[in-house]
Structure 1
Amino acid sequence: MDERLARTLPQLGLRERKKIKTRIAIRAAMYRLMAEQGYEATTVEQIAEAAEVSPSTVFRYFPTKEDIVLTDEFDPFLEEQLRNRPTGEDPLVSLVQVVRDGMRHAHEHGQGEIVLRTKLVLEVPALRARMTETMAETSQVLIRAIADRTGRARDDLELRVFAAAVLGALREALVVWAERGHEGDLMELVDEALGVLRHGLRD
């Protein structure tokens, strides 16, 4: 288990801890099976058996198979980090730093999962479509924190565009990395993509 998540679990109630551990077990089972037999051949019934839960439990935590691949427990951590950035810091600086730190942490502690996830996003149309939706959900989490920090309304158009642009840059860095066969330094691509937001297009 990721040590950052492990530090947070004791702060949660028993019910929430059990829910998170069940989600992690289901996701781990999914990735093990996919590595062995591929995405399409992996069924919810197989995932449930490997995770030692019922198929109905899998669907309760993940409405679709795509959700098992793409969702994680890190949105609350991103929100917390963003809220803890220095008061008065430029929102772009805050958001870029939080997204970069989160991506670096995920890369260091789960590179194999990121490789498989991004490979599948390129290969499975349903995953590409769901990825857009999950990033929109993450965007809402970040918008909430930025709005509270800046005094803007949570439905402010500029704020929505702002958060979507940062997450869009991250998505494109991941896609390019996958398209290149996962060769090269992912974090260099992330920095390059986020740099476009700071500096614009360069000659």
Structure 2
Amino acid sequence: MADDLGLRQRKRRAAMTHVQQVGLDLFDAHGFDAVTIEQVAQAAEVSPSSVYRYFGTKAGLILVDADRTPAPAARRVPTRGDEHPVDLARRAVREYLGSQAVHTVSRRRVQYLMEVPAVQAEFSQRMIEWLHGTASEESAERASAAQFEAQTTWGAIFGTVLGALTYWYSTDYADPLLELVDDGLDRLRRGLGA
């Protein structure tokens, strides 16, 4: 039974990755704004409802990690005692970027994130929702001041990772992304004035 579940998950990931690759190819050929979900579905030989189920929106074709499962909320890296949020974020980023397959797709996806306002808007909305959920989980048993601290801490971490992505893109991917993120998180951990 566990083997059946694993097989289904692998098939779903493969299908999602295929749809995402087809979508990116169409965006590259025709521009993000000119391509519809229906066109992606037709080219990927799936139903439009499958594209919506996998990715939610057209911007989701860029923002959702097709090669990852389950959903992002269930993928959070577990904390280790009193682990500092920066160290927790570093572990999560290392886990995600540890796969070399991520980098080819990431370059294409980061390009759309940097260049397409609709993708930027959805990315920001998803991050706001993620920050709210993370801070709420982290401070569920504490006062609202702790929730504010958690939200601003995770907001700074998000900004640091976004800054690394922006720099990576603006330098034509010259430095390894993981090193840039590590450097940014090191600076954040030491304190911005240090």
- TM-score range (shorter-chain normalised) is 0.7 to 0.9
1:115-126 aligned within 5 A = 115-126=107-118
- Tell me if 1:89 matches 2:82: yes
- Tell me if 1:113 matches 2:92: no
Pairing partner for 1:170 from 150, 161, 169: 161
- Tell me if 1:136 matches 2:128: yes
Q: Is the 8 A contact 1:91 1:146 kept in 2?
A: no
Shift of 1:32: 3.1
Match of 1:45 in 2: 38
CA RMSD of aligned residues (A): 3.2
Deviations 1:104-139 (A, max 9, x none): 225x22111110111112211111111111222333
State the secondary structure of the residue aligned to 1:65: coil
Deviations 1:50-102 (A, max 9, x none): 222222332344342111111224624641x2x2x43x333325423323313
> When you count helix as a share of all residues, which structure comes out higher?
1
CA distance in 2, matches of 1:178, 1:35: 16
Instruction: Determine what percentage of the aligned residue pairs are the same residue.
Output: 28
State the secondary structure of the residue aligned to 2:59: helix
Instruction: Check 1:111–1:9 CA distance in 2 against 1; reply closer, same or farther (3 A cut).
Output: farther
Match of 2:170 in 1: 179
Q: TM-score, normalised by structure 2?
A: 0.77
- Tell me if 1:70 matches 2:79: no
Q: TM-score, normalised by structure 1?
A: 0.74
CA distance in 2, matches of 1:200, 1:179: 25
Q: Is the 8 A contact 1:78 1:99 kept in 2?
A: no
Matched to 1:191, the amino acid is D
Q: Is the 8 A contact 1:62 1:68 kept in 2?
A: yes
Unaligned 5+ runs, structure 2:
none
Q: Which runs of 4+ in 1 moved over 4 A?
A: 8-14, 16-22
CA distance in 2, matches of 1:167, 1:40: 27
Q: Tell me which moved more, 173-182 or 48-57.
A: 48-57
Instruction: Check 1:168–1:9 CA distance in 2 against 1; reply closer, same or farther (3 A cut).
Output: farther
Unaligned 5+ runs, structure 1:
1-7
Instruction: Check 1:179–1:28 CA distance in 2 against 1; reply closer, same or farther (3 A cut).
Output: same
Q: Tell me which moved more, 96-105 or 178-187.
A: 96-105
